[in-house]
A and B are shown apart, each in its own frame.
Chain A
Amino acid sequence: MRHLPLLVLTCAALSLAACGDSDSGSDGKTPAATTAAPQDLDAIKTYLLDHTTRLQADVGKLRENAEAYHELAASADFDSKRLLAENREEVAKLMTEAKATFKQSNPAYEEMEGVVAGVPELADYDVIIDAGGDASDPETAVPFSIKTEDGRTFKQPGNLFFLIESSLYGTEPKFGTKGDLDGDGKVEFGEALPDARFYVAAAKEFDSQAAELDAAAKKWSPNEQDALTALVVMTPTMSEYFEAWKNSRFVAGDKATEKAFVSSSRLQDIADILGGLKLIYANVETRIAEANPQQAKQTGESLTKLEAFAARLRDQEAQGKKFTAEDADTLGSEAQNRAEAIAGQITQAAKQLNIELAS
């Protein structure tokens, strides 16, 4: 009896030894596949519909703003000088509101861009709303043109975010003029008077497309192929986004060649897009883990770290840090390398699950 405690301790020690992991060269054993419940991808659709609803609401406000501005411009016979002279305060108020709404609408879209651009059924809307170029690049040009009430046609002018943003901030002379909105005698960056007829036509087109996107999203049934394709397609576009960031005002200042991304930094978009992709991945991770748990873990961690990386840069920039072009290039390349690794990993997972990625 007096040796009982000794016996217990010895047994405990032996048990502990038996539980220790062996430090072998083949860590990462794949355990026997477990039967997981079918993946519920509805969360992706819910996320998408939340955002299409938000976008519709924001774009609706932009349209109302554009119509109010158009009314004012019409009262001044569309003469921008007369418009400022007669209605400066009101115009300034409308422009400030529009810019705020625009800033709000951007993340509403960017957070779902991963789904919209990555899912073949919806990808056209990304071209129309956010990614499409103008007629000078037929392969990426938007499929629509803007027709104004006075008979002008702007053939395939570019994506809708670009049209509104460049109109509001005066970065595209075709869509408006600059003007002293605050009446301080100086015309600073961002003080602009959109071409009212163009602006209202573009806003109406945006409103219509947002509604169409919402309808298409409601019709869409998410499946694993769509989810994995979205991840493979969207993640490697980091280099384009970082390139746009590098050429934007946030890095290049007045030497910026990028006419868009003036209201908020592209880094915000990048972080938002990655957030959306993380959500998609979270909904397929269990399925991937069935085939290869280590693969699933690797990709999950990689995506989380990539998002954190983008968010960290965004926060640093917001706190006033100025990145040079070389810094942006280094950081962008790192993000691109990580993104491509993720895309490669997802491709492996799709193969193991016998899921054909859409072209």
Chain B
Amino acid sequence: MKVAWVVVLAAVAALFAAAPARAATPWESAERLNEALFSAQEDLIAGTPAGAARDVQRARAAYRGALRRGLRASAPEQDRALRRALASAERAARARDGRALAAARGSARAATLGGAYAVTLASAGRGDVEAARSWLLLRDFRTATRFTRPGADATAAVDRLARGKASPSAARLTITKDLLDGYQARLRELLKDVDTTGEKGFGTRTAETAAQAAGYWQILAPRYRQDRGDAAAGAATRDFADLQASAAQGDRRGIVVARAEIDTALDGFTAAPFTAAESARRAQQLLRFVALVPVEYGRGVKDGRVTLDFEIQEAVAFQTAGDAAFDDLRDQLAKRDPARTAALAVEIDELGGVVGEATQRKTGVASADTVEAQGAKIEKGLKAVMPAAWEKPTDDSDYDLIALTLDRMEAAVGAGQRQQAEQARLEAYAFFEFGPERRLKSIDPGLATDVEGLIWFGAKGHDGLAELISKGAPRRALRDTRLALDEELENARATLGDSASRTTVVTNAAIIVFREGLEAVLILAAITASFVGVRRRLRRPVLIGSILGLVASLFTWVLAQTLLESLSQYGEKLEAVVGLIAIGVLLLVTNWFFHRVYWSEWIGRFHRQRRKLMEKEQAGFWSAQAFGLIVLGLTSVYREGFETVLFLQSLELSAGATAVIEGAGLGLALTLGVAFLTFSLQRKLPYKKMLIVTGVLLGIVLVIMVGQTARTMQGTGWLPITPLDWEVPASLGLWLGVFPSVETLAAQVAAIVFVIGSYALATELKVRRPQRKAAQRRQPAEPQPSQPTPEQPREEVPAG
């Protein structure tokens, strides 16, 4: 019995001893290890070497459990590297060698993270979500900058794997890209640290960063080998080893030589492979950054003097971003044309040098023309070497550019540079209008209107950016609108990202054609309404002009298939010009309408000489009058036709030609049907009523056209923008051309005054004045005192 008790007690005791405390997770063990080694460094700095030795022992003790098992199983090389580093740390602590201890810590850190990288991928690859999630916590991140944030794709991939939304291989690929991107970014930073600490003579830090860089290289080396081959990878590995050894010995010359070799080896290497879509996006960013450098520089420099520091800073920011984008694509470009790619690298560097000089001194800097020429040369070279697919703007690149430009706008507001802010706002709008907006208007016009409103005069309960900048609002006041705008742009991206069904595309194309066609029909109906009886022949030139307008629209469609890029950059200006022509002709016609109609009516009635008048009218087909009517017909139809082509083109880009043509045909048929009804109705309505109706319609169409064209001219910068603090629903702008700005409303008021004035003038000149004169002529002469005056019969004056 006693023996049984002893056995039981012993078993219980053994169980207690064996019962594990909660085991440390890999990240916890790694954290303890890293902290212990840093603590050892601090001890050496503080002059307590005994503490350093103890801390290294703590670090050794931390390397156990899940961390050690994981590395041993999936990353044996990293396990060995880590154990070597710990041994080296121990020796360094005993020898009170701060530099060696720092180097050991750098190596240990890199080995831990490199091992975690391997285990994470292995876990994801076999679908072990819990392991992947746990090991993913042990990683490094790229530093957040103005243009980038740490990635979270790997985390998202593990989540998708957990939910069954991604296969293990897909998740593994995404995790690989995210982690490699982060480690390459950190490697660049570590190499920069090697340089700066070396220059300052901080040998300890140089040794640590060099060792860590060499360890990070091991993570990237397999990708490098894949891209550039074994020989190149082997050479780069030797360069890193040389760097590490030189830094450990404090050999400054050796460090410099190794660094130069490493820079050459890494030039153009991108560890995280881009997908085709990512490459295209990055290429678009590169082209746009390069295009913007001379634009910003040109605004900040005059006659070799820096006039606006802010613009120079922007130019530098774009050049730096362009440089980074070029680096990301360089390998791919070099495979297509190594010589040209190398030349481009030199040219981009030179551009950076030139622009950078303007930040160092105020005078004697390169002229705007020089920078423009350099920029154009680089752009040309890039387009020559890029695949054609990369030159096509993608929506993503458009949104990137919009966001970047809005950031510049905010920065300018923050710096008190209102003019620059407004310029940036207009640029952002242009990127939106000639980028995603065309398609968005086809698919979700309400959303497009909201985005426009937020950029201009307000929408969704927020003040518009144009208004805020004009009022001199501080940056924080713009923030709300910017946040709302970002949300709407994200909605737009999501909307356009979904492919539309065929029915939707056909319907949308039909609506576009019908909407634009209806406007043209309205104008033509208003103009031709009074062309009845003897003036019926005046319809012909208008019809001819309309047909020419249709032909021009079709021609534009054909051109747009090949030249959309060229057209779109002038799109708004072209829109404004065509709008101005249409308004000019419409103003002339309105004036003519009132004068001619009333003149013919009233003079005809007074003198019954309508035939003589018609003879005078028969001045030949190619009279100025006929020419004006042709132009009116053409511009009325082409103005709508041009817009329709742009909308349909962008719809075609996402949905294909067949569905769009089908929809356009349907819309055209509906438009022609309405036109037939309208012109038939014209003939049936009483003449006088038709005069009044068409006169009013003409006036309304003119006022709408004037409002919309003025707004377009604000967008091109041809008219200033003075916002009014009025809440105007966006739909009023969309349908009636009413926008809350002084210029657009003033133009519309001027148009109304013109129309009413035209009518009043016509009535005064052609009706009232003749009436007064006639009345004066009918007044009896003053009688002579001696002679009685015989009564004269009164002339009948017709009623006015």
Smallest Cβ-Cβ distance to A125: which chain B residue: B476
Is the beta-carbon distance between B143 and A27 smaller than 8 angstroms?
no
What residues of chain A lie closer than 8 Å to B11, measured between beta carbons?
13
Smallest Cβ-Cβ distance to A344: which chain B residue: B141
Residues of B in contact with A, size category: 35 or more
Is the beta-carbon distance between B310 and A138 smaller than 8 angstroms?
yes
Residue among A9, A27, A156, A295 with most chain B CB within 10 A? A27
Is the beta-carbon distance between B414 and A21 smaller than 8 angstroms?
no
Q: Is A347 an interface residue (CB 8 A)?
A: yes
Decide: A341 near B141, CB < 8 A? Known: A20-B18, A26-B134, A329-B200. Answer: yes
What residues of chain B lie closer than 8 Å to A27, measured between beta carbons?
22-26, 65-66, 134
Smallest Cβ-Cβ distance to A143: which chain B residue: B416
Is the beta-carbon distance between A24 and B8 smaller than 8 angstroms?
no
Is the beta-carbon distance between A121 and B474 smaller than 8 angstroms?
no
Cα separation A317 to B182 with both chains bound (whole Å): 35
Smallest Cβ-Cβ distance to A123: which chain B residue: B476
Decide: A359 near B155, CB < 8 A? Known: A16-B15, A138-B313. Answer: no
Stretch at the interface among A71-79, A86-94, A272-280, A350-358: A350-358
Is the beta-carbon distance between B479 and A298 smaller than 8 angstroms?
no
What residues of chain B lie closer than 8 Å to A326, measured between beta carbons?
200-202, 204-205
Cα separation A123 to B477 with both chains bound (whole Å): 11
CB distance from B100 to the nearest CB of A (A): 15
Cα separation A64 to B4 with both chains bound (whole Å): 87
Cα separation A298 to B69 with both chains bound (whole Å): 21
Is the beta-carbon distance between A21 and B20 smaller than 8 angstroms?
yes
Q: Is B309 an interface residue (CB 8 A)?
A: yes
Is the beta-carbon distance between B150 and A28 smaller than 8 angstroms?
no
Q: Is B669 an interface residue (CB 8 A)?
A: no
Q: Is B152 an interface residue (CB 8 A)?
A: yes
The listed residue (B69, B144, B205) touching A232 by CB distance below 8 A is: B144
By the criterion of a CB under 8 Å from any partner CB, how many residues of chain A are at the interface? 64
Q: Is A67 an interface residue (CB 8 A)?
A: no
Is the beta-carbon distance between A29 and B155 smaller than 8 angstroms?
no
CB distance from B66 to the nearest CB of A (A): 5
Q: Is B346 an interface residue (CB 8 A)?
A: no
Q: Is B746 an interface residue (CB 8 A)?
A: no
Is the beta-carbon distance between B130 and A30 smaller than 8 angstroms?
yes
Is the beta-carbon distance between A329 and B205 smaller than 8 angstroms?
yes
Q: Is A348 an interface residue (CB 8 A)?
A: yes
Q: Is B636 an interface residue (CB 8 A)?
A: no
How would you classify the secondary structure of chain A's contact residues: helix, strand, loop or mixed? Answer: helix
What residues of chain B lie closer than 8 Å to A295, measured between beta carbons?
137
Is the beta-carbon distance between A21 and B12 smaller than 8 angstroms?
no
How would you classify the secondary structure of chain B's contact residues: helix, strand, loop or mixed? Answer: helix
Number of A-B contacts (CB under 8 A): 171
Smallest Cβ-Cβ distance to B159: which chain A residue: A352
What residues of chain B lie closer than 8 Å to A19, measured between beta carbons?
19
Q: Is A216 an interface residue (CB 8 A)?
A: yes
Q: Is B672 an interface residue (CB 8 A)?
A: no
Cα separation A16 to B11 with both chains bound (whole Å): 11
Cα separation A330 to B155 with both chains bound (whole Å): 31
Residue among A6, A13, A16, A305 with most chain B CB within 10 A? A13
Is the beta-carbon distance between B137 and A298 smaller than 8 angstroms?
yes
User: B394-415 CB contact bits vs A (8 Å, 1 = yes)?
Assistant: 0000000001000100010011
Is the beta-carbon distance between A141 and B415 smaller than 8 angstroms?
yes
What residues of chain B lie closer than 8 Å to A137, measured between beta carbons?
309, 313
What residues of chain A lie closer than 8 Å to B26, measured between beta carbons?
27-28
What residues of chain B lie closer than 8 Å to A236, measured between beta carbons?
143-144
Cα separation A125 to B475 with both chains bound (whole Å): 10
Q: Is B752 an interface residue (CB 8 A)?
A: no
Q: Is B128 an interface residue (CB 8 A)?
A: yes
The listed residue (A121, A156, A329) touching B202 by CB distance below 8 A is: A329
Residue among B128, B143, B415 with most chain A CB within 10 A? B415
The listed residue (B4, B182, B407, B414) touching A6 by CB distance below 8 A is: B4
The listed residue (B20, B130, B159, B309) touching A23 by CB distance below 8 A is: B20
Q: Is A120 an interface residue (CB 8 A)?
A: yes
Cα separation A326 to B202 with both chains bound (whole Å): 6
What residues of chain B lie closer than 8 Å to A356, measured between beta carbons?
490
Residue among B15, B73, B197, B200 with most chain A CB within 10 A? B15
Is the beta-carbon distance between A25 and B70 smaller than 8 angstroms?
yes
What residues of chain B lie closer than 8 Å to A359, measured between beta carbons?
403, 407, 486
Is the beta-carbon distance between B45 and A330 smaller than 8 angstroms?
yes
Cα separation A330 to B768 with both chains bound (whole Å): 95
Is the beta-carbon distance between A348 and B155 smaller than 8 angstroms?
yes
Binding site for A on B (CB under 8 A): 4-5, 8-9, 11-12, 15-16, 18-20, 22-27, 31, 35, 38, 41, 45, 65-66, 69-70, 73, 102, 123, 128, 130-131, 133-134, 137, 139-144, 149-152, 155-156, 159, 182, 193, 197, 200-202, 204-205, 309-310, 313, 403, 407, 411, 414-417, 474-476, 479-480, 483, 486, 490
With A305-B35, A329-B197, A347-B151 known, 11 other A-B pairs at CB within 8 A are A9-B9, A23-B65, A25-B131, A26-B123, A138-B309, A138-B415, A138-B417, A326-B202, A340-B144, A344-B140, A356-B490
